[in-house]
Structure 1
């Protein structure tokens, strides 16, 4: 039974440890998948499909029903001499009635529209592309927030571990001082000084743990997953050639939309050709001469071809093109501004990485020197050469040098992954 328990422990513990540990890349991916804005991408796609489908229906026959009743102040009549002559021959000429009625349908089928419908469909698709690119850009910005939280937690992890190491070191010196106090070498005040410092360190541990829990809870909400441990990202070289930020795709989509809208202006100027059919049941019919003799309702119909050319678009064409030209100018200016600021940030982050690498090299040497000084101070305290305050100063300085190393290491990694975010490479 003991063998089975040990076997299960060896199998399950690594799995559980792995399940609780998440990487930065995983957090980036889960945060975007879990962010409510991701739903907008599907909605944009569906809306675009509906718009394109509705525009395509412009090729279907357009059918309208008509019902009309009118009363006219005057109607067409026959000349009086003709009415007299026909009356003498026995014809009852009632004349057109002033109340007239019509119920019918009109059917219109577009044959040629100058590319208007295709242009409208293209504009609708590109409007969807712009909205998609805008949403993708907003989703990408979440990565920067994840970077800040993730590396904030890692920095706190390092400080918590260093705090534990400091507590162990202080406890070791407390044990030595207790022994020295028993032998009459140290005083109670020396012991109290170290005890106070250890209590202060324990207070700092509580504060660090609370801050870590707060950031960890935020990260868990972002990724929709409860986590306890973060993996340390790798030190890597970020390629800086080229820029793959989604903002650039947004600018491209906006330019393409402006181009399509300009083509649509041209399509609106071209003539339109259609065939039509009209039919109605009512009074009077197309044969109004017969309607003077007979007031019955009749069926009437007409078919034909219609060529229309609306030149009203010429009135605003110049201003519309000027507006599109200015819009392109604004987009290009925004692109240049983005690339300029992005390049400055890239230079700053690259220089920061170089700076932290040099500082880390120095930190290792400083820690080695501080450790030797602290050990020497412990030895001198045991021989009564220095007091407890001198020892605590050296312990604090060594601990601070270790904090500096951890801080510079985490900040260097953050600069690396911030640079990766800046270039999206």
Structure 2
């Protein structure tokens, strides 16, 4: 089988939108409808929330590197305390003690925890953004369905209207024959009945069109004019595979990046941490001089080292878990691409089959029109009756509808194919 190449050319279009969302132009690019649907969908509000939450979390992580200042106080009453004999005398430490001080701690080296936390937060926000894109992508399929149902209904109305007008000509011809006494009145009535049936079908089709347009207005939040038309991409099928540009691909990458950031956080938690500390306050008795049992101010400072070098294998197990989760993501990616390739092949086969069907339908319509032309002559000459003519009218009408249905179906299949691989 040859491959299908789809060359996409979007024509530029300028249009105006009123404050209330009333679309003034009657020609709308399909991609613009996609954009409106995404902007109107309630889920889009999550995008701003993700940005705001990420900014707040990053700001909080940044502040963990600033000095920590705390106010501390403690008082206690003891049953006994230190008694230091000195010659005939003794120093008796008081049974009640208290202290109040300001403490300052500043991390000189945190082992890279803050950097890992920022990377993890950014990766987590990116995962949420791509997840949102994946969910919003389904709106394109909904827009495609509604737009092509509208197009098909309008084409059906056009065909019905043409058939009704043709019947009107034949009714007038038979009416003249009836007035001249060469045609039975029932023959005229049969055509008039079919004309009324076509009118009913046109009215129903018009109602369907209004319903579908209303659904699209609800989906996009815009109000469209009755004769709105949607500009579809111009495509030339030549059977060549296209590159895939789906948000799921980046979602898988971002999920792996998140796990990598989590792994970096585990590694950082096992490194030594160095910090400065200082205290300054007042205590009774003097916290730094046991011989001074009066209330006294004091200050101290120094360097602290903390190293949790033994975690009993917890970090190793966490890294094993992360590695398994990354492998699981690759399995999900492989499954996604497998299903996508299957869908691509199905679309390509459908497009090839529809092209063959359309050629066949065109031949059928051409022959049915020739038969209808001959039937009209036969009806005028009394060779056939109105029932025979209406039967041929219906056959021609069905053939034309099938042709237009397959043409629109091919167009929709191409657009769905482009949407599937992320080219729209």
TM-score (norm 2): 0.89
Structure 1: distance between partners of 2:153 and 2:254? 42
Structure 2: distance between partners of 1:413 and 1:313? 62
Structure 2: distance between partners of 1:67 and 1:271? 30
Show the counterpart of 2:132.
135
Matches within 5 A, 1:31-70: 31-70=37-76
Show the counterpart of 1:333.
331
Q: Equivalent residue of 1:286, what SS? A: coil
**Aligned residues between the structures:** 398
- Give, in angstroms, the shift of residue 344 of structure 1: 0.5
Show the counterpart of 2:200.
203
Q: Contact 1:268–1:313 (CA<8 Å) still a contact in 2?
A: no
Larger Rg belongs to:
1
Q: Equivalent residue of 1:130, what SS? A: helix
The range that moved more, 37-46 or 348-357, is 37-46
Q: Equivalent residue of 2:348, what SS? A: helix
- Give, in angstroms, the shift of residue 70 of structure 1: 1.5
1:236 aligned to 2:235? yes
Give a deviation string over 1:57-109, Cα, whole Å, max 9, x none.
Answer: 12100111112122223322224xx3x6126xxxxx4x222221121111100
Q: Contact 1:276–1:305 (CA<8 Å) still a contact in 2?
A: yes
Show the counterpart of 1:349.
347
- Give, in angstroms, the shift of residue 313 of structure 1: 4.0
Matches within 5 A, 1:2-81: 19-79=25-85
1:396 aligned to 2:394? yes
Q: Contact 1:240–1:423 (CA<8 Å) still a contact in 2?
A: no
Structure 2: distance between partners of 1:315 and 1:208? 71
- Give, in angstroms, the shift of residue 21 of structure 1: 2.1
Q: Contact 2:147–2:230 (CA<8 Å) still a contact in 1?
A: no
- Give, in angstroms, the shift of residue 312 of structure 1: 5.6
Cα pair distance change 1:234/1:307, threshold 3 Å: closer
Structure 1: runs of 5 or more not aligned = 1-15, 88-92
Show the counterpart of 2:4.
none
Show the counterpart of 1:13.
none
Show the counterpart of 2:161.
164
Q: Equivalent residue of 2:356, what SS? A: helix
Give a deviation string over 1:364-412, Cα, whole Å, max 9, x none.
Answer: 2211111110111111111111111110111011111110111011110
- Give, in angstroms, the shift of residue 204 of structure 1: 1.3
- Give, in angstroms, the shift of residue 290 of structure 1: 2.5
- Give, in angstroms, the shift of residue 37 of structure 1: 2.3
1:119 aligned to 2:116? yes
The range that moved more, 398-407 or 221-230, is 221-230
Q: Equivalent residue of 2:291, what SS? A: helix
TM-score (norm 1): 0.89
Structure 2: distance between partners of 1:144 and 1:388? 45
Structure 2: distance between partners of 1:17 and 1:48? 36
Structure 2: distance between partners of 1:18 and 1:41? 29
1:219 aligned to 2:222? no
Structure 2: distance between partners of 1:248 and 1:38? 20
Q: Equivalent residue of 1:63, what SS? A: strand
1:359 aligned to 2:357? yes
Structure 1: distance between partners of 2:42 and 2:26? 24
1:190 aligned to 2:187? yes
The range that moved more, 250-259 or 19-28, is 19-28
Tell me how large the CA RMSD over aligned residues is.
Answer: 1.9
Structure 1: distance between partners of 2:60 and 2:80? 44
Structure 1: distance between partners of 2:403 and 2:267? 65
Structure 2: runs of 5 or more not aligned = 1-21
Q: Contact 2:23–2:223 (CA<8 Å) still a contact in 1?
A: no
- Give, in angstroms, the shift of residue 166 of structure 1: 1.5
Q: Equivalent residue of 1:78, what SS? A: strand
Show the counterpart of 2:6.
none
Q: Contact 1:283–1:298 (CA<8 Å) still a contact in 2?
A: yes
Structure 2: distance between partners of 1:375 and 1:407? 23
Q: Contact 1:52–1:121 (CA<8 Å) still a contact in 2?
A: yes
Give a deviation string over 1:186-243, Cα, whole Å, max 9, x none.
Answer: 2222222222212221111122111111110111222222213123524414763321
- Give, in angstroms, the shift of residue 184 of structure 1: 1.6
Please identify which structure carries the higher helix content.
Answer: 1
Show the counterpart of 1:5.
none
Q: Equivalent residue of 1:59, what SS? A: coil
Q: Contact 2:23–2:222 (CA<8 Å) still a contact in 1?
A: no
Cα pair distance change 1:141/1:17, threshold 3 Å: closer
Structure 2: distance between partners of 1:175 and 1:195? 10
Show the counterpart of 2:17.
none
Structure 1: distance between partners of 2:79 and 2:171? 117
